[in-house]
Structure 1
Amino acid sequence: MSEEQKSRHDAAESAIDELYAEAAHYHVNTGEETIHAKRVGGRWRNIKWWTASVWLVFFLGPYLRWGDRQAVLFDIPNRQFHIFGITILPQDFWMLSLVLLFFAILLAVATALAGRVYCGFFCFQTIWTDVYTWIEEKLEGNPQKRRKLEKAPWNFTKIRIKAIKHFLWIIIGALTGVSFAAWFVDAFELWGGILTLSLVGVPLIVVLLFTAGTYGLAGFLREQTCLWLCPYARIQGVMVDTTTAVPTYDFYRGEPRGRVKKGETQEESGKGDCVDCNQCVAVCPTGVDIRHGQQEGCIMCALCIDACDTVMEKLDRPIGLIRYESLDQLEGKETRAMYKRPRVWVYGAILTLALSGIAFGLSTLDAVALKVLHDRLPLFVTQSNGSIQNKYTLKVLNKTTENLEVKISASGLEGIILVGADEPVKATKGKVAPRVVFARVPRENLKAESQPIMFHIETKDGAGQVFTSQRESFFAGPKPRR
């Protein structure tokens, strides 16, 4: 062995000694103590920060404006959902079901392909806990120092550090509560109520509940939320198979695990690449040992991959002892292409149908909508001049943000006359305005006992934009004369 190799080997031995000292503190935790996960840098840690930044939309989204209102506002009291230039009322809530279906199937697709990748990289509980523990590490130090501080007697230093930490935790929880409420109440009005101490009712309750919930779940329960409260951990087992790529320990390469004695080569020891340093456990936010195979506590955040790669680099061994890989690939089996997996086709078909339904709904979403109800008793009335009259109740739904005057007309029958449609319908914003009209048609113009009739509405907003809508109904009459 050359001097350079010997020096590098000694340095690696020293590093492994430190890792073994740390490993003594880690074991599977079922809630009896707080897990203080070690933080290591690496590719997957960087990816986690980038995916966590998606939640900036949650905090900043309510402050986007669209004209004179909030760009995205779920106004439940007034039963209106404003999404930029689109206003969705309860009559269009069927699209919400398709949106929920789309995201549910998307979660199933992600799980089938890469396991609980949502939990590891996008889940709010995971990300908020990560931020809370990051603050804890900045104030209290590494895991060893945090454990030491927990056991230390209460003094001014400990009180000061703990007070600052919990204050920052509560601030983040409060911002979370305010941000959630701001999607349902105008953000500027919400802040006005908070700053003037005049916020009451449901918004105040929501803010307080989310503040307490975030503080408790991310600050104290942490991984126990994933282990015992989250239903996804219970059902993920039926959503993955041997072709699903998940963080996997290569036991063929790693076993038999163990430390190589000083002065002994790896070949001489007969040991695998795993030196049993337990760093994969030390960095795990839920405290599981990936070397024991897949477990319900594993949120597949891939931090164990970064930890293991760091150790392998120190030992001059190939990285990837722990890596994203399916069981079939690990065992050398031929893996099926994506298009050969039946569940991919099923999931894809459902996603396509859901997206098609949402696209259709948005494309046919009118600013003003019309519903026509034909009076059934009687179906028609014969007038003194021989014309046939039908009675209808027209319901005009105004989905815009301003009051409108809507004109009504009808077509489809020769000589049709509308009675009661001379004056425009005054349609209040977000409301349904009913109007009773009578349609009269000369009897000789009727070709059948029931014929289609089309009702039209037309209006203009303050900017001069024209909105129209139409709805087909039927016109009833006696049998035609021969």
Structure 2
Amino acid sequence: MTTKQGTSQDAAVDELYAEAEQWHVNTGGETIHAKRMPGKWRRIKWVAASVWLIYFLGPYLRWDGRQAVLFDIPNRQYHLFGVTVLPQDFWMLSLLLLFFAILLAVATALAGRVYCGYFCFQTVWTDVFTWIEEKLEGNPSQRRRLDKEPFGLQKLLRKAPKHGIWVFIGFLTGFSFVAWFYGAGNLWRDFFIGQANVTVYASVALFTVGTYVLAGWLREQTCFWLCPYARIQGVMLDRNTVVPTYDESRGEPRGRLKKGGAAQQRSTGDCIDCSQCVAVCPTGVDIRLGQQEGCITCGLCIDACDAVMDKIGRPRGLVRYASLDEIEGRPVKPLLKRTRVWVYGGILTAALIGILYGLSSLSTIDLKVLHERAPLYVQLSDGSIQNKYTLKLLNKSNDDLAVTISVDSAVPIELVGADKPVQARHGEVVPATVFVKIKRRDLNAESLPLTFHAEATLADGSQVSSERESAFFGPRR
């Protein structure tokens, strides 16, 4: 006698197999219309993707009366909240790029292409575009039928809203990108009245078209053919890397589920060959064939398989995040015992310390001292020894400053050429030439240490200063 539970399982299995007949691995000759299923990893994917809201909303965050983060390229000033970074401090950018490059390598070594699956802008934008497509054009079967219909007015009317929204999202992407460099307020004021420069309009247009084409049309083919990361990921994985994996020992041999009570009629492995893992894959790969170039580690196949296992009364985890050693039953090496983790961690720590040191040591004015080498010193008519110095003053504030120069030494000295403050324009390097004289009787060594000081008063009345050590040279004694 067939139970009610068995009947419902049979109906669910029939539905799965009817849908599976429509799925096959795509090689780029057609558009993938991935099935969207709810589940744990789908929720995590949306949460991770929400990080990109910072990209759109960040330019409108204010700090001390101006845009909090502004990469002001024309004025060569880069404002990061209360810190202003000039091109002379861009050694920190190298450390920042190193930090994120190694962080990406760490993520890949530990969890495969997890960045691609959850954070990559191409993946996130494509996911949003396909979500809009499903809301406007229906489920995957309906969209495939619409694609095969001959082009006509009805098809145009059904597809036009989708493409209009895609273009609008592409425009917002480009507009937001430019706002980080141009200033959000200025951009809204200048863009729509035709006062922005050609570079602004070209950048917005490029991002609009690029986003529309890459996320709307190329989709997974961007990951296959344009992204270099897919090509190098193979050498970054090892036997301990955790990736979406099909448990072959549990799932094979595959076999279709017979009617009459799913749990009682199993004579093969747990995989019922329903192809749901392929149906939900945004790149169209079959996870049961092992790790592949197209797998972006998004975990959607896990949600799909778990849902099927629930329907047929089998345990979850046929497809799960696991390492090769775990799947093959070998001991799994603890995280802290992996050499790669320690090497990557050391590089990350060093880069982060360098960045924090650089940000903490930034001063409002920067002073560099260049000693004249030809001649190294000059003996004056009164017997004094004179050295010539070229000072380089960098004003990192937003205002012009009057900088006072002074010098300290262990012996009496005279500073010539610094009677008046040096006028330093904001964001610029201003040179100044000064001379230091020491009487011959006070020069008790061939060289003496000097310390130059630069001091200025900001508009708010606060004092800023910088100092630089140099040396004074004289004749041999």
Is 1:169 the counterpart of 2:179 in the alignment? no
Calculate percent identity across the aligned residue pairs: 63
Equivalent residue letter for 1:116: R
Per-residue CA deviations over 1:112-161 (Å, capped at 9, x if unaligned) read 00000000000000000000000000000000110111122344432222
Normalised to the residue count of structure 1, the TM-score between the two structures is 0.97
- Given candidates 188, 192, 195, the residue that maps to 2:192 is 195
Per-residue CA deviations over 1:77-133 (Å, capped at 9, x if unaligned) read 222211111111111111100000000000000000000000000000000000000
Gaps of 5+ in 1: none
- Given candidates 18, 22, 25, the residue that maps to 1:21 is 18
**Distance in 2 of aligned mates of 1:419 and 1:365:** 29
Task: Report if the CA contact (8 A) 1:398-1:432 is conserved.
Answer: yes
- Given candidates 132, 138, 142, the residue that maps to 2:135 is 138
1:81: which partner in 2?
78
Is 1:341 the counterpart of 2:338 in the alignment? yes
Gaps of 5+ in 2: none
1:396: which partner in 2?
393
1:12: which partner in 2?
9
Task: Report if the CA contact (8 A) 1:254-1:274 is conserved.
Answer: yes
Equivalent residue letter for 1:214: T
Task: Report if the CA contact (8 A) 2:262-2:312 is conserved.
Answer: no
Is 1:377 the counterpart of 2:374 in the alignment? yes
Aligned length: 477
Report the 3-state secondary structure (helix = DSSP H, G, I; strand = E; otherwise coil) of the residue aligned with 2:33: coil
Equivalent residue letter for 1:193: D
Task: Report if the CA contact (8 A) 2:262-2:313 is conserved.
Answer: no
**Distance in 2 of aligned mates of 1:461 and 1:200:** 33
Task: Report if the CA contact (8 A) 1:446-1:477 is conserved.
Answer: yes
- Given candidates 11, 29, 32, the residue that maps to 2:29 is 32
- Given candidates 76, 91, 95, the residue that maps to 1:94 is 91
Task: Report if the CA contact (8 A) 1:413-1:441 is conserved.
Answer: no
Is 1:148 the counterpart of 2:145 in the alignment? yes
**Distance in 1 of aligned mates of 2:217 and 2:206:** 16
Equivalent residue letter for 2:369: V
Equivalent residue letter for 1:149: L
Task: Report if the CA contact (8 A) 1:413-1:445 is conserved.
Answer: no
**Distance in 1 of aligned mates of 2:382 and 2:320:** 87
1:357: which partner in 2?
354
Is 1:284 the counterpart of 2:281 in the alignment? yes
Equivalent residue letter for 1:325: A
Is 1:422 the counterpart of 2:414 in the alignment? no
Shift of 1:255: 0.9
2:311: which partner in 1?
314
- Given candidates 9, 29, 43, the residue that maps to 1:46 is 43
**Distance in 2 of aligned mates of 1:204 and 1:330:** 53
Shift of 1:269: 4.3
Normalised to the residue count of structure 2, the TM-score between the two structures is 0.98
The within-5 A match list for 1:293-312 is 293-312=290-309
**Distance in 2 of aligned mates of 1:161 and 1:457:** 68
- Given candidates 197, 200, 209, the residue that maps to 2:206 is 209
Equivalent residue letter for 1:418: L
Shift of 1:479: 2.3
Deviates more, 1:274-283 or 1:151-160: 151-160
Is 1:221 the counterpart of 2:218 in the alignment? yes
**Distance in 1 of aligned mates of 2:380 and 2:6:** 107
Is 1:60 the counterpart of 2:54 in the alignment? no
Shift of 1:268: 5.4
Equivalent residue letter for 1:235: I
**Distance in 2 of aligned mates of 1:420 and 1:302:** 69
Shift of 1:67: 2.5
Is 1:367 the counterpart of 2:351 in the alignment? no
